[in-house]
A and B are shown apart, each in its own frame.
Chain A
Amino acid sequence: MFFRSRRQELPGMTLEGVLGPNTRLDDAAGRAVPLPRALVVLEDGRLLFSSGNDVLALAAWDGEPEAWARFDVPVTALGARGDLVAVGLADGGLAACDRTGRRLVGWATPTGLGSISDCMVLSDDEVALVDSGYRADETLLSLAAWADAGRGMVVAVGRSGSRRELASGLNCPMGIAPDGKGSVIVSLLEHASVVELSGTVRQSGFPGYLGRIRATGSGYLICCLSRRDPLIEFLKTEKAFVAEMKARISPDHWLSPRARPEFSHDFPIELGATRLFGEVKPWAPSFSYGLVIETDHQLVPTGSAHSRANGTRHAIADAVSWNGATVAVSMASGELLRFPGSEA
């Protein structure tokens, strides 16, 4: 009564202020793409994006995309620097290509990785790969919410076949970006934080479950696969309930963040999510959400773009700054989205 026994955490960021709701993602120009996952801007100004097993290149937003490369498994990550383009694959493989899409010889496929959630070219001879610890075909959002142990790692793979483990035991790392000081930072999905390779937290309490983090001229773009939900955060403390849920119920029906704003009779809902007159209220709580957070170099949010509970452009997997605008990938609606950056 007199001494608080529970550990008190710093309150997380709420969707207020610069993170306050808007319709920037819903209002953004969209380009339908089947199964999009990753983006990267090449030095020649073209935008590469993945679509299932394909990678396509776009010279201008209004132009027609041209095929760039095709792989045997779905492409899950893209990274580029200079002439080297790293393509992360769903089976944990890495394909190193030049800017025309030709495979470069000499790069060996790394072993022991699940699936590549992000990659970053460190030098002409080395690529950093982020392994979330979950297979790409798994319902990652469902599983990661209730995982206790950190299974993710960051590995640097060299042209010569060398392999350096930069970090391990991370809790579902999803993205990697340079920190501007010669090192890298990693975004964590479930902990909603950005950490250094050593595990030191750079910034935490983001209001979403984080996807990739991308450096821009003014700071970073942080993609959110969903928003943080008080009910899910609460249930993380209810071990017995979660254990029974994991044991008895299939992951599709778990209470967890979701990629898509879909209705189903056997999904749980939150009280405020009840439809009124058939409509989903934009302010309703939802397990899926679209959110891109713009931050400064210190990872302090400076702006945000939302697709709210009644929108469809949820589960933002990737976002880059391209030709003065921001281009983002919505996995829920299967679209590339282009909207003016807040500094533009």
Chain B
Amino acid sequence: MSADIEFAARPKQRVPLFVLSPRRILADMLSSGWVESAIPFLAFVCVVIGVVATTQDYFGAANVRNLAQYAADGGLIVLAVLIVVAVGGIDLSVGSNFAMSAFVSLYCFHILGLPVPAVLVASLACGALVGAVNGILAGLIGCGALLTTLGTMITIRGIFTLASQASIVDISTSARIDDLWDWVGFEKFLTMPIGFWVLLAVAALVFVMFRQSRYGWHVLAVGGNRKAARHGGIRVKLTIFLAYLLAGLIVGLAGFLFAARQNSISADTGIGMEFFALTALVVGLGGFVPGRGAVVPVLVGFATIYILNNAMINSGFRGDFVQFTMGGIIILILAIDVKFRKNRHRLLASTYLDPVSVDLGAVKGMTGLMPGELPPRLAQAEILAAGRLDGPEDVILDDEGNLYCGNRDGRLLRLSAPDYTEITVVAKIGGRPLGLAFDAEGRIVTCVAGMGLLRVGMDGGVELLTDQTERSLLSVQDDTTIRMADDLDIAPDGVIYFTDATKRYDIDNWGLDLLEGRPNGRLLSYDPRTRRTRTVCDHLVFPNGVCVTHDGGYLLVASTWGCSILIFDLADLAAGPRIFADGLPGYPDNINRASDGGYWVALAGMRNPIMDQAMRYPKLRQRMTRRVPPNNWLFGNLNIGGVLKLDAAGVVTDALWDAPDGPLYMITSMREHEGSLFLGGVTNDKIGRITVAGADTDWTGPKSYQGRG
């Protein structure tokens, strides 16, 4: 039959390499996670530019090193506060704890003469102890975080003042010199101070903790919603306790670095540090946000106010003026950020839909075959399981004639032959099954919208085959996740070819993809032997039904909004698609083999002159989606569909229609089985069955795929 197909002689279907649209880039940027931190980052850039413009050589190597040297302990304190805030608490005692740890370090080093590693341990222990006290009171016992840490802040400050006054003379007169101590305090490693590298390492660890570790996720869950976390089985109190402990440890480390660098303390060490850290946090996060462990934005926020503060003091402004100006700038940044966050979703909603002009051309090859020109033969169809199904998008029959279909509630159902009145549940999938196919072992492979490609055994076992593919090179949005797996077929070598109908819309608003009219879908393949998913062809217009040709050499793919059927050469997929049939009178959905060597094509809806014209007016569609309620949007006529019969060369030879108000109004799939055609519809609650005149009554789908038919 490959001679009939004449692949090389068919016109090529143009497939863009990438979709270049400023509106789409903006929308994709607005929908990415990192845009949350856009304003803090922009503020940082503005501060840097401002400083560069007004201060000569501020970012020279020497000054940068100097900044890095003094930034370490402040940066660590910010990270400590981030952990506590992420878990839903607050820590006001970081300043006192910092001073106390620094004092303990100096006391251990100068008075007790301990080796430096022991000094580090003592400093960490001091920080951890304060953290533990906070954790016990605020986490385990459940006193309020604000009151608890206010209490420890005052208490520790008192102890620090008493202790430091008693030993400050001894510390400052100590003559002990230690190489390791000085190395920590003053040496450079790869041109940067040690403290800077410590800050970087701790930041990386905290980043990994929030991203990858179970504990980090628990912290975010508890901060996000304490009650839900508890219901989810997370030990909330322990998680909070550990967060305070961890924060205390980091503060202890900061105190140690400070002690090694300064070699001295004073009564005002660490005073105001908690507010400095909280300010940095608020600038970075754009507010006081629990449940968000954003390390990088917080450090950006820290760098912003650190540099701003430093540059203004360096420029010789008075301290009170610096404070006043800093406050104003921070309020400005926060105001812009809050406004941006508030309106981001609105901006995204108004820019997401990105319509393009589409000229579908005239309907071809349908003379004498349109509804009204043919008697409504589907009106004679037998109706099966009326009212007992919900949206059987695809139907498939096994060798024994049992019919399988997906249900909107996520179940895969079997209608037992011969009368199809007994309905049993094969599997509960959890997502909506769309396309179905039998593999060589008699299992059902199904495309599930929002989930990916799944395999269902007849014992009810459900196995996820794939839900991700390669990321396309030129897209802002991460498109690795398969968003709307739609239909599939299995080639003779066992490779599963399936479509991801649209990368930009979910099943709930897939209709928007029509109004957009852009090539948002892709054809994917999954090889069960290597378990590898590949993108065979990206940028197709709503690729929907998939069917391997009778000879197993080619692949037919329906382009729903393109009103066409594309053909791929399985031996040379890189050659791209050619056109098998175009100018169809409606929107093609699934394609399946017919017993006479041709193909059945389901039409989910019909083109009409108005909609075809609207497709050439992208700006109108854009305005419509803004100004007209969604219910009233102009749309393709999905209230009438039918079935087309194509011969092996892709020429429409017959069409089956229902009466205009008939029950089989929208057809998304059909399967031929022993002389009958079974019809399903994604918005219907029934399945139609019609006898096909002249069909091979011995022919079944499984036989055809196994080479027996």
Contacts and interface: CB of A to CB of B under 8 A. Distances in A.
Given A264-B640, A274-B639, A275-B639, A231 B633 contact: yes
Interface stretch (B111-119, B230-238, B571-579, B660-668): B660-668
Contact of B640 (A254, A263, A277): A263
Contacts of B661: 262-263
Given A244-B613, A249-B613, A263 B660 contact: yes
Interface stretch (A47-55, A100-108, A214-222, A265-273): A265-273
A266 B363 CA distance: 12
A229 B608 CA distance: 19
Interface string B623-659: 1100111111111111110000000000000000100
Nearest to B639: A275
Given A231-B632, A276-B683, A264 B660 contact: yes
A277 B608 contact: no
A268 B639 contact: no
B493 to A, nearest CB: 39
A300 to B, nearest CB: 26
Contact of B610 (A230, A245, A284): A245
Nearest to A231: B632
A275 B606 contact: no
B685 A277 contact: yes
Given A234-B628, A241-B614, A265-B640, A271 B635 contact: yes
B630 A265 contact: no
A269 B52 CA distance: 60
A276 B613 CA distance: 26
Contacts of A240: 617
B279 interface: no
Contacts of A285: 631-632
Nearest to A233: B628
A4 interface: no
A271 B640 contact: no
B611 interface: yes
Main secondary structure of the interface of A (DSSP, over half): loop
A195 to B, nearest CB: 27
Interface in A227-273: 229-231, 234, 238, 240-241, 244-245, 248-249, 253-255, 262-273
B694 interface: no
Nearest to A238: B620
A255 B634 contact: yes
B304 interface: no
A270 B639 CA distance: 10
A269 B637 contact: yes
A245 B628 contact: no
Give the bracket for the number of chain B residues in contact with chain A: 35 or more
Contact of A245 (B606, B613, B635, B657): B613
B22 interface: no
B609 interface: yes
Contacts of B657: 265
B634 A268 contact: yes
B579 to A, nearest CB: 23
Interface residues of A, number: 33
Nearest to A229: B632
Contacts of A277: 387, 683-686
B371 interface: yes
B610 A272 contact: no
A234 B623 CA distance: 9
A272 B620 CA distance: 19
Contacts of B663: 278
Contacts of A275: 638-639, 665-666, 683
B370 interface: yes
Contacts of B634: 231, 255, 268, 270-271
A269 B613 contact: no
B633 A271 contact: yes
Contacts of A245: 610, 613
Contacts of B640: 263-265
Contacts of B683: 274-277
B632 A248 contact: no
Interface in B582-639: 585-586, 606-611, 613-614, 617, 620, 623-624, 627-639
B635 A274 contact: yes
A284 B683 CA distance: 15
B639 A263 contact: yes
B396 to A, nearest CB: 21
A272 B630 contact: yes
Contact of A269 (B371, B617, B624, B639): B639
B511 interface: yes
Given A266-B609, A269-B639, A278 B631 contact: no
Nearest to A255: B610
Contact of A248 (B606, B609, B623): B609
B605 to A, nearest CB: 9
Interface in A267-314: 267-278, 284-285
A311 to B, nearest CB: 14
Most buried by A among B370, B371, B614, B634: B634
A241 B632 contact: no
Contact of A254 (B610, B631, B686): B610
Nearest to B586: A265
Contacts of A264: 640, 660
Contacts of A270: 631-635
A276 B661 CA distance: 12
A120 B244 CA distance: 87
Contacts of A249: 609-610, 613
A268 B611 contact: yes
A229 B628 CA distance: 10
Interface in B370-422: 370-372, 387
Contacts of A254: 610
A257 B601 CA distance: 33
A180 to B, nearest CB: 37
A264 B630 CA distance: 22
A13 to B, nearest CB: 16
Nearest to A232: B632
A253 B609 contact: yes
A111 B587 CA distance: 51
A273 to B, nearest CB: 7
A264 B620 CA distance: 24
A37 B584 CA distance: 41
A298 B630 CA distance: 34
Given A267-B608, A268-B608, A277-B683, A234 B660 contact: no
A230 B631 CA distance: 10
Contacts of A263: 639-640, 660-661, 665
A268 B624 contact: no
Contact of A272 (B371, B627, B632): B632
Contacts of B637: 265-269
A284 B632 CA distance: 9
A142 to B, nearest CB: 12
B630 A278 contact: no
19 contacts: A230-B629, A234-B627, A241-B614, A241-B617, A244-B613, A245-B610, A248-B613, A263-B661, A264-B660, A265-B586, A265-B606, A268-B610, A269-B639, A270-B632, A270-B633, A271-B511, A274-B683, A275-B638, A275-B666
Given A231-B634, A269-B637, A273-B635, 8 more contacts: A240-B617, A253-B609, A265-B660, A266-B607, A266-B608, A270-B634, A275-B639, A284-B631
Interface of B: 370-372, 387, 511, 585-586, 606-611, 613-614, 617, 620, 623-624, 627-640, 657, 660-661, 663, 665-666, 683-686
6 closest A-B pairs by CB: A272-B631, A263-B660, A268-B610, A277-B685, A265-B606, A271-B635
